[in-house]
Structure 1
Amino acid sequence: MDKFISKKDRVFAAIHWSIIIALVFLSSLSIYLKYWFAIPLLLAPFAFFLWTWFQTQYELRQDLLLIRSGPLCWKIPVSSIRKVNRTNNGTSSPALSLNRLEIIHEDGSIFISPEHEQEFISKLKTMNVRIQVEGKQNKGRKK
């Protein structure tokens, strides 16, 4: 089993942490104003954003790509993966960077952003030699 954490760039850090800080502020304000009903409504997205920030990862197990992002989980058989495209597509996905890989498989596609992209692709191709890789190699790592 190989684990790869998500690459994290400045854009996603700014978005995630701005939302988290705003939710903390609003929760504090709700406590101060004694709006008790609002606290669970604010803590749920707070927990979600924190969880996805610290727990977005990709695991390669036997014939399975397991993608976890907070409470969300996808299981993709490696044998069903046809192509990997390098992209900067901003579509909502379990990726914390715009420097992404589109995993195209029999049931659709999903965008991910493993921190060690080349190592991830190599291990994936070892598991399924029929996978095609397209696009230029993403250079460096944005922080």
Structure 2
Amino acid sequence: MEKFKSKTDLWFVLFLILLFGLILVRLVYDRSWIGFGFILLVSAFIVHIFLTTYYTIKDNKVLIKCGFFYNLAIEIKDIKKVSESYNIISSPALSFDRLEIVYDKLDTVLISPKDKLRFIDTINKINPQIEIKIKDQKRHN
């Protein structure tokens, strides 16, 4: 079993801290304790997502975990292509430096493993038929 943490964009973290910090300060200033409590809960949920977004390779599957609600298992034998992506669509990725995984017929998922090359090498050892398209190391299998 190999576990890969999600890469995290520092500017994104700083943006969220600034945004939620300013909202919380304003709510305290206005003495809006219900709103303060709600934003605190939302902040705790976001922190939980940051702490629990990772990708595991186990039993010939890629297991994708993000927070309480997102759990996806992909059979590595079903992966057709892995390519770099900077797509901003919502996904279980904490960075915009992403990998797009195409699997089954036309299913896709975007992830952001911190060590992209090791992730790709690990799945490629299990399924050498995966088409790999990345800048650092262009390979076509």
CA contact (8 A) 2:24 2:36 kept: no
Task: Provide the C-alpha distance between the structure 2 equivalents of 1:79 and 1:25, rounded to a whole number of angstroms.
Answer: 50
Q: Unaligned regions of 5+ residues in structure 2, if any?
A: none
Identity of aligned residues (%): 29
1:74-93 matched pairs, under 5 angstroms: 74-93=72-91
Task: Provide the C-alpha distance between the structure 1 equivalents of 2:71 and 2:25, rounded to a whole number of angstroms.
Answer: 29
- Figure out how many residues of one structure are paired with residues of the other and give that number: 135
Higher RCO structure, 1 or 2 (CA under 8 Å, sep 6+): 1
Give the match for residue 52 of structure 2: 55
Matched to 2:129, the amino acid is R
Give the match for residue 104 of structure 1: 102
Q: Unaligned regions of 5+ residues in structure 1, if any?
A: 139-143
Give the match for residue 141 of structure 1: none
Matched to 1:111, the amino acid is L
Task: Provide the C-alpha distance between the structure 1 equivalents of 2:60 and 2:132, rounded to a whole number of angstroms.
Answer: 18
Report how far residue 130 of structure 1 moved.
Answer: 1.2
Task: Provide the C-alpha distance between the structure 2 equivalents of 1:51 and 1:23, rounded to a whole number of angstroms.
Answer: 19
Give the match for residue 121 of structure 1: 120
CA RMSD between the two structures: 2.2
1:20-59 matched pairs, under 5 angstroms: 20-22=20-22, 24-25=24-25, 28=28, 33=31, 35=32, 37-39=34-36, 41-59=38-56
Task: Provide the C-alpha distance between the structure 1 equivalents of 2:37 and 2:71, rounded to a whole number of angstroms.
Answer: 24
CA contact (8 A) 1:20 1:49 kept: no
Task: Provide the C-alpha distance between the structure 2 equivalents of 1:66 and 1:19, rounded to a whole number of angstroms.
Answer: 31
Task: Provide the C-alpha distance between the structure 1 equivalents of 2:19 and 2:71, rounded to a whole number of angstroms.
Answer: 22
TM-score normalised over the length of structure 2: 0.81
CA contact (8 A) 2:27 2:33 kept: no
